[in-house]
Structure 1
Amino acid sequence: MRGGCGLGRRVTEEEEEEEFYDNGVARLRVEGSCRLVSMHTQQGRKGVNQDAMTLWKDFTGEKDTIFCGVFDGHGPLGHRVARHVRDVLPVKLSEKYHSLQLPGADSLFAACAEEEDDDGGGDLNGSGSVYRYFSSWKAGFLKAFKEVDDQLCRGANIDCICSGTTAVSVVKQNDHLMIANLGDSRAVLCTRDDSNQLSPIQLTVDLKPNLPNEASRIMKCKGRVFALEEEPEVHRVWLPDENCPGLAMARAFGDFCLKEFGIISTPQVTYRKLTERDEFVVLATDGVWDVLSNEEVVKIVSSARRRSEAAKKLVKKAVRAWEIKHPMSRIDDCAVVCLFLKPEPGAQVDGGKRYRDLSTSGSFTTAMNGGASKSFDRTKEVGVGEEWRPLDSVRANSRFAGLLKSCSGRQVG
């Protein structure tokens, strides 16, 4: 996979082998780098790479607005679910932006300035502009996530009975950051503390089934939550009368065999006002967070010689950590998006100059004016004889295998 950013720029001779699609409004691509974003993914040792990611610069047509997302598929068709959500979610959210008339950063800035003059409120606990901004965007995220899941259920031509994906996404508008999280991928902010030292702030909660609120909801819906003896640290969700499928997260797109039993596609949506102390945001799948701490991730990204190398360096460090910490385990897929919050020192601002060190491997996806997306994807599908491990490596029992067989080749809906 591959990606990048920048609209309306001239393709230089050095970039002739790159594939570009630019409709003058938006571009989604799924790996690569530019001066504000570095993206990289690497397949693990469990079969096809089920991770996906995307970037949309000038999101919704608003200048200085960026959408980034990372998606971690699971189940036999998890790679297809992840790519579908990668392509459709930003389009749906853009539609909500326009149909719900969500506030842009400029209008919020003007309203906040007026409130400061009037000593008005500017936090999420009152009724000020920031609160209204957050509430409006939260409504947009909730509607977009619901529509994407409904589409997967009824019309995506992907069997999502036992397959699904996480999603962690951010929308940055100037110094406003909206975060929407579904599942156990994670977003971490790197900021500077009072001693001017780099410090991580986790922006999302890993929505695992053993969290009290998540477990309570699942059990009220007759789902079961427990860990297997061979991996007591990993709690999973099981059907009421079957020891399957064993989903290792409490919220996800797809996974319709568990939607009646407490698994939901409702994201946790949060807001953060960015400051001069904030340096970058890292979005990554659990293949990274399972072996590296937030502190280690911040240190690795900040130590990259060039921004364009940051995501790739982090993925390689994660793979190495898997080899050291879990030599008998299969390395998980890893996907990383690093969103830098300040201009790179010495970088020219716009002017049609080429972005540096764009990746030349993988695929990219485009969205046409908020309409249907087109995909140019060279990533191979699961072939005959290739291995998949149902729902995060839990082996399905014989009765669940029968369920999978009965669902094979059938469209959900």
Structure 2
Amino acid sequence: MATTPTASSEPQLTLPSLPQQQSSWTDDLPVCNISGVGYETNKAYRRDGYRTQQHSQEDYSFHFELDKDLCLYGVFDGHDSCRAAHFAHQRMPAELSFGQLTRRGGSDESVREALQQAFLAVEKGFFEMIDESLAQRAMLLSEIPEGLTEFEANRDHPAAMQQLAQLDQAISGGTTAVIVVVHQNRLYVANVGDSRALLCKTDENGILKVLQLTTDHTLTNEDELLRLQQLGMDVTPLRQGEKLAGQEVTRCLGNYRLKAGYREDERLRACCAEPALAEPDMVSVQLDESCRFLLLLSRGLYRALEEVRDEPQVNKEVAQLVVEEFAKSTTLEGVAQTVVNRVARDHQDCFINSGNTRCQRCEDMTLLVRNFSYPLRPAAGGGGGGAASVAAESATSTTSGTVAGRSTTNSSSTNSSEPVTNPYSFSLDADQRIKPYVSFDAYRENLARAREQGQFTDDTWWKRLLNM
């Protein structure tokens, strides 16, 4: 959140404000009841167990059921402020909730087009929101002579430099975005940045497979580095650990410094165009009976697992944690929140117990679980399966894993084509009460026999206790 100058003699700037707790039109959208979200705020740890939040929460999410056969999900992971993530989480549903997805019959092509246009429209809207601050910033920059060092500028133009610092804060920030549409038994995924979508499905042996449907747009992605190189940038320092204007993502919504303002960064001036893109990667998958559940997660969650376990197949690890909670939790909110809590606790414990400095602080964590057919205790989450099979080539990423030892009926040998049953369901009597599952027949027989033999009288204390 932007602050105003502390000196009372300086002019006050009007900066855009985005309250964390604010009602929104999206509050009236129906929430999808076969999905749930868990989250945890960023923390820095001390060895004595004390934790402090470092900044306002920058993760946002939504899970809506727009129509009987149309659901919309999203996770946003902001950086440098919560501004862009908050804006995108409010604006994206508006770009997709008023018939855009079902236009022209909701064909594959029209849904993809709607998703791409939504990403570009949200980015445009965000820059329009901060346009006044950008204009004020441009005027201040024009008043400061070129060629001055930062020290000289602060010495000779302190008021202007103070206002520039405030405006830089007001325009800062960008966000990743992963958006999922479930429409007519088909799954559509669009993403920028490094938040992930994982589809968990069983193979012919009932073993759960994990497919990453999103592309990580980061500086470890060789395709993204090649794109930056083709723009004229020297990518060797990036391969050696240098960041892109302080960021690891190469695609995002917002982030003025990687978009229109990239020429202000000496290292980015060599680029012939904006180095960061708002154009999403997209993939679509036909849902069938093998599709069990979908996970959307921000980087903070899987990064914490990587730091704690040094686990290269972190997608499989997340899926395994979710499967374990399906057997214990009674709601999808409970599944998601318990997994996030467990990861956060393990991350802190790793630092406290071993002093692992990689685990000294954690980012915001978000996990969204959308169930298709996995049994949830005590009742299975709803369907959504189709008839066609899902080919492995449908995923844009080859990241996958197998969750061994557990399938849709808690048996790794169960065939995925068999109907899903709930191992925790109970039989009800005529009064809708759970039928007794412990037999007292033997006790009653022994009691009757003792009464006949005179071993159970009115003076017996347990008779009075039981009021027999």
Normalized against structure 1, the TM-score is what?
Answer: 0.62
Change (3 A) 1:308 1:210: closer
Separation in 1 of the partners of 2:243 and 2:381?
Answer: 48
The one of 210, 218, 231 equivalent to 2:220 is 210
- CA-based RMSD of the aligned residues comes to 3.1
Q: Contact 1:279 / 1:341 at 8 angstroms: preserved in 2?
A: yes
User: Does residue 339 of the first structure (1) align with residue 370 of the second (2)?
Assistant: yes
Runs of 5+ unmatched residues, structure 2: 1-21, 44-53, 134-168, 260-272, 306-313, 383-468
Separation in 2 of the partners of 1:209 and 1:160?
Answer: 26
List per-residue Cα deviations over 1:198-255 (Å, max 9, x = no partner). Answer: 22111112111232221122233345546689xx6x5621xxxxxxx22111100011
Separation in 2 of the partners of 1:318 and 1:337?
Answer: 14
Amino acid at match of 2:370: L
Give the superposition deviation at 1:95: 4.1
Change (3 A) 1:25 1:40: closer
Equivalent residue number for residue 280 of structure 1: 293
Separation in 1 of the partners of 2:60 and 2:26?
Answer: 23
List per-residue Cα deviations over 1:361-410 (Å, max 9, x = no partner). Answer: xxxxxxxxxxxxxxxxxxxxxxxxxxxxxxxxxxxxxxxxxxxxxxxxxx
The one of 85, 92, 96 equivalent to 1:93 is 96
Q: Contact 2:304 / 2:362 at 8 angstroms: preserved in 1?
A: no
Separation in 2 of the partners of 1:349 and 1:302?
Answer: 13
List per-residue Cα deviations over 1:244-285 (Å, max 9, x = no partner). Answer: x22111100011211243100001111011111111100000
Separation in 2 of the partners of 1:308 and 1:280?
Answer: 14
- Report 1:63-74 matches (<5 A): 63-74=68-79
Q: Contact 2:373 / 2:381 at 8 angstroms: preserved in 1?
A: no
Change (3 A) 1:160 1:270: farther
Equivalent residue number for residue 302 of structure 2: 289
Higher strand proportion, which one?
A: 1
Larger Rg: 2
Runs of 5+ unmatched residues, structure 1: 1-18, 29-33, 105-132, 238-244, 351-413
Change (3 A) 1:289 1:83: same
Further displaced range: 290-299 or 265-274: 290-299
The one of 80, 83, 89 equivalent to 1:80 is 83
User: Does residue 186 of the first structure (1) align with residue 196 of the second (2)?
Assistant: yes
Q: Identity of counterpart residues, as a percentage?
A: 25
The one of 153, 165, 168 equivalent to 2:127 is 153
Q: Contact 1:81 / 1:160 at 8 angstroms: preserved in 2?
A: no
Change (3 A) 1:141 1:317: same
Change (3 A) 1:298 1:214: same
User: Does residue 236 of the first structure (1) align with residue 243 of the second (2)?
Assistant: yes
Q: Contact 1:223 / 1:261 at 8 angstroms: preserved in 2?
A: no
Normalized against structure 2, the TM-score is what?
Answer: 0.55
Separation in 1 of the partners of 2:292 and 2:194?
Answer: 23
Separation in 1 of the partners of 2:115 and 2:58?
Answer: 23
User: Does residue 135 of the first structure (1) align with residue 92 of the second (2)?
Assistant: no
Paired residues, what number? 283
Separation in 1 of the partners of 2:113 and 2:24?
Answer: 31
Separation in 1 of the partners of 2:218 and 2:27?
Answer: 40
List per-residue Cα deviations over 1:282-306 (Å, max 9, x = no partner). Answer: 0000011113311111111111112
Higher helix proportion, which one?
A: 2
Q: Contact 1:251 / 1:265 at 8 angstroms: preserved in 2?
A: yes
Equivalent residue number for residue 318 of structure 1: 343
Change (3 A) 1:26 1:343: farther
Separation in 2 of the partners of 1:209 and 1:200?
Answer: 24
Separation in 2 of the partners of 1:24 and 1:83?
Answer: 14
User: Does residue 39 of the first structure (1) align with residue 44 of the second (2)?
Assistant: no
Separation in 2 of the partners of 1:186 and 1:36?
Answer: 19
Regions of 4+ moved over 6 Å = 19-25, 157-160
Task: Select the structure with the greater relative contact order (CA < 8 A; seq sep ≥ 6).
Answer: 1
Equivalent residue number for residue 309 of structure 1: 334
Separation in 2 of the partners of 1:160 and 1:212?
Answer: 33
